Amino acid sequence: MIHNSQNKWFRERAGFTLIELLVVIVIIGILVTLAVPKLMDARNRARETQTGINLRDIHTALAAFGTDNNGSYPFRIRWFDATNDFGPGFDPYTATDTGAGFHSDSDSWFSLGLIGGVRTVTNTFADNTGPGDDFDTEFFGMREHKVIQPNGWTYSGFYRVFNQYSDPLVALGYLDAYPENPFLRRPMGNIMWSYGDANWRAGGSPVLDKTIPDPRTTVTPGDFVYTFFYETDGTTIYDPEGIVEAKVSYQAKSRTDTHEGMYYLDLIDSYHLWAYGVLPMNGATYVAYPNNAYGISTRGLTEANKDFDGSGTKDLYELGMIAYFKQTANSARATDSGGNRTEF
């Protein structure tokens, strides 16, 4: 009888009651809620670490380029179509004056010496940008690969010529391809850059300041900025010193095709290179700066939290930055005309 009673008791206690099950679910939910942010933070830290490693690889490729080119680096890319004569007497600057070529300067943006690896064209150099569908893509200048560009850049006006295959580090063999952006899962791209207004907070007449990004600058996590020290008197931006024109020429080739025409590189003796990590996310656009002209403000960030360039101040452009490299060993000048350091 005792044995039968024990069996009956165990049969009655088999399984959980509804209340017990709900308690377990609540406890699991609390544990997940506590663990997920830490897991996300660890994942983002790993992505930032990889971005820093990627940036060092680009810096290493630039160093190799500089070794082969007497301490000079890509500053501006020029392209001329196949109707031009590329013989020994060809002068790309005379040809530019006739409107026969394209170049990688764009309005008041700084020159693009590197394009990056975002896949804006196919192997046959056909349009691969496609329409965006996140929001007003024409206004933001975005495409499906999240290419940050000046408003109005199109395949026919830019990417047909300047793309992942015509980037000088790739075309000349210093990189097989750009490293993958660990945040966006496509090759790293070069973010457009220019100086911003020192009076953006208080208003008044604009005063260009190298420590503040242009309000049109919209940065993406895992991408890089490759740029140079442009002098400014507060109202005008001047080209850097030490530019050597049309020093290197090359053609762009994909795995299956060769692009028509010829590319010519203007070189410069120093550069700045940096990259961004986790940024406040606003839909499909990532913005690091509170002065952004598109009205997409940062979430809680107004000042940089680290002095990456060693200038002694935490500049606004350093918001979100996780890695910084420079090459100034052969810089034309250590300071500008006002006696200021040539660092940002």
Distances (CA, A) of 172 to 96, 165, 166, 190: 23, 10, 9, 18
Torsion of Cα atoms, 83 then 85 then 91 then 93, to 10°: 0
pLDDT digits (tens, 9 = 90+) for 179-201: 999 988 889 999 889 999 999 88
Give the DSSP H/E element, type plus range, for residue 231: strand 231-232
Asked if residue 299 lies in contact with residue 290, where contact means CB atoms within 8 angstroms, the answer is no
One-letter identity of residue 119: R
Tally the C-alpha atoms within 13 A of residue 180's C-alpha that lie toward its C-beta: 6
> Does the residue 341 lie in any domain?
no
Q: Specify if 40 maps to a domain.
A: yes
Q: Domain of residue 66: give its range.
A: 2-327
In a domain, 236, yes or no: yes
Residue 88 lies in a domain: yes
Token output for 81? 């179509």
Q: Confirm whether 337 is domain-assigned.
A: no
Q: Give the residue, 46 or 106, on which the prediction is more confident.
A: 46
Please choose, from the candidates 131, 270, 275, 248, the residue with its C-alpha nearest in 3D space to the C-alpha of residue 190. 275
Question: In this structure, what are the phi and psi dihedrals at residue 4, rounded to the nearest 5 degrees?
Answer: -65, -40
Residue 188 lies in a domain: yes
Q: Is residue 316 part of a domain?
A: yes
What pLDDT, in 10s, does the model give residues 226-284? 999 888 889 998 888 888 888 899 999 999 999 988 999 999 999 999 999 987 655 55
Residue 333 lies in a domain: no
**Residues 127-179 pLDDT 10s:** 887 654 444 444 444 454 555 565 557 788 888 899 999 999 999 999 999 99
Residue 118: count of CB within 10 angstroms of its CB? 28
The CA distance from 75 to 65, in Å, is: 12
Please state the domain count of the chain.
1
323: which strand partners?
275
